[in-house]
Structure 1
Amino acid sequence: MDGNLTLHLANFSTLFVCMVLKFPQIFVMMRARASTGVSLNSLLLELLGFIVFMSYQMYYDYPPLTYLEYPILIAQDVIVLLLILHYNRNLKHSLIYAALFVGGWQLLTVQKWVIDLAMSLCTFISASSKLAQLQCLWQSKDSRQVSTLTWALATYTCLARIFTTVITTGDTQVLIRFVVMTILNMWVTVTVIYYKPHAVKQD
């Protein structure tokens, strides 16, 4: 009973956190009216990873509570993407990205081997998104428009999903993905904190 309660708490806390995960990032960008330090490539790779992962879970009829947060995360990522394109004056590219993602989403479940291959690459894709964000921060040395809270919450959700995966499906590919994502999310969080500007005391 205690195990089931802990599992439900992990599932629902993850779902709740994911419902607001990108809100801090969205608010920071809207307040600054800029997207400096937020990597477009990272966001596109993250979206691709989310779509592949959710499609894989749905294809194999995994319990909905193990992936229910992904439609919410995808919707929030789309908002962040539109903001980045808007502040970079590239909003017209949104239609191209929409067509590519929708078309790719449909192709994923055409054949079993396609979704299996995509899932085998999912960890690499998602890891690449974090590394792209790290590279962006290293180059700009400016994380004022990057939300520390968003990355810290992302770290928590991955930790929670390690627990729920072990208890429910035990899928090795999924477990490896969450372990790698936890480490990289923590790395990004620390880097964001490091590059936050510190107030200079006035004499």
Structure 2
Amino acid sequence: MAEEVILAKGSSFMEPFKGALVTYLIPESCYDEFFLNFNFLDVPCLKILLSKGLGIGIILGSVMVKLPQILKMMNAKSGEGLSFQSVLLELLAITGTMAYSITNKFPFSSWGEALFLMLQTVTIGFLIQHYAGRSGRGFLFVILYFALLGLVLSPITPMSVVTTLQASNMPAIIVGRLFQAATNFRNGHTGQLSAISVFLLFAGSLARIFTSLQETGDTLMAATYVISSACNGIVALQVLYYWNASAERKKKKKRKKRE
């Protein structure tokens, strides 16, 4: 009897939170398993909770993942060391993921960071052009991109085109990251590339391998994030390798300014 009273109290205590939990984190069957049966070790439900939690965390983190990169460029008033070709290919990959996920009606928690990454990547692309003295091209780039995005997301675009766009993510990611890696290698430093943004992107793409398999079951999405993780890892290693070179470069610049 006492046990039944405790269970009833536990259930009534969580009742106000049920709507939010079932909507954003766990299905109703898992809510019952956790808060009615008090079975907190149910493996399938724990996987769902972990996946949803990671997904929401990635989305929240993505709001600011490239902000350090943008601020670093604005502070230096330079896009030195950043490859515009890499930005274009990254946008292609992000757009493919967004369009494919929206068309297939995947849950927002499985792809939502793409929306925020897209906005920040477009900003970086504009700043690269702007600080290179090509503001007109920068504005044209922004206008053309959003026009093409609207076209891809419109009902007139066949599903086959959207699937092809998603399939092109892997070569786009590989070539895009290789462009950036080649730029770093050629310069002997990472320029205005933000280490914080690079490492956050690497961590996010690793986590997305699990969430995409858990929430969508789509092997194409999962394979995209595996490739993305590997390519982001290469650039992250370069950031570590050129860390001292970048620090030495900053010291030389300060000396020149004093002279």
TM-score (norm 2): 0.73
Residue 107 of structure 1, CA deviation? 4.0
The corresponding residue for 1:32 is 76
Verify the 8 A CA contact 1:49 1:125 in the aligned structure 2: yes
Q: Is residue 48–residue 101 contact of structure 1 (8 Å, CA) maintained in 2?
A: no
Q: What SS is found at the alignment partner of 2:78?
A: coil
Mapping for residues 136-151 of structure 1, pairs under 5 Å:
136-151=183-198
Q: Distance in 2 between matches of 1:184 and 1:72?
A: 20
Q: Distance in 2 between matches of 1:132 and 1:152?
A: 18
Classify the secondary structure of the residue corresponding to 1:20. Answer: coil
Q: Could you tell me the percent identity over the aligned residues?
A: 26
Q: Deviations over 1:33-71 (max 9, x none)?
A: 211111111011111211111001001111111111111
TM-score (norm 1): 0.92
Q: Residue 186 in 1 paired to residue 230 in 2?
A: no
Q: Identify which of 117, 132, 155 aligns with 1:88.
A: 132
Q: Does 1:50 align with 2:118?
A: no
Tell me how far apart the structure 1 counterparts of residues 192 and 209 of structure 2 sit (CA, whole Å).
29
- Quick one: distance in 2 between partners of 1:72 and 1:18? 6
Supply the distance in 2 between the matched residues of 1:107 and 1:9 (Cα, whole angstroms): 32
Question: Per-residue CA shift, 1:158-183, capped at 9, x if unaligned?
Answer: 11110101111121111111001101
Following the alignment from structure 1 to structure 2, what is the Cα–Cα distance between the partners of residues 68 and 41?
24
Distance 1:100 1:48 in 2: 13
Question: What corresponds to 1:157 in structure 2?
Answer: 204
CA shift for structure 1 position 88: 0.4
Query: In the alignment, which residue of structure 2 is the partner of 1:124?
Result: 171
Tell me the amino acid that sits aligned with residue 223 of structure 2. Answer: I
Instruction: Write the distance in 1 (CA, Å) between the matches of 2:113 and 2:145.
Output: 18
| Structure 2 residue ranges without an equivalent (≥5) | 1-44, 252-259
Q: Which has the larger radius of gyration?
A: 2
Compute the displacement of 1:8 (Å): 2.3
- How far residue 98 of structure 1 moved from its aligned partner, in angstroms, is 2.8
Does the C-alpha gap of structure 1 residues 71 and 142 become closer, same or farther in structure 2, counting only changes over 3 Å? same
Q: Mean Cα displacement is larger for which, 178-187 or 32-41?
A: 32-41
Q: Of the two structures, which has the highest relative contact order with CA contacts closer than 8 Å and spacing of 6 or more?
A: 1
Query: Root-mean-square deviation (CA), in Å?
Result: 1.8
- 19-28 vs 93-102, greater mean Cα deviation: 93-102
Aligned residues: 201
Residue matched to 2:57: 13
Matched, 1:113 2:160: yes
SS of 1:97's partner is: helix
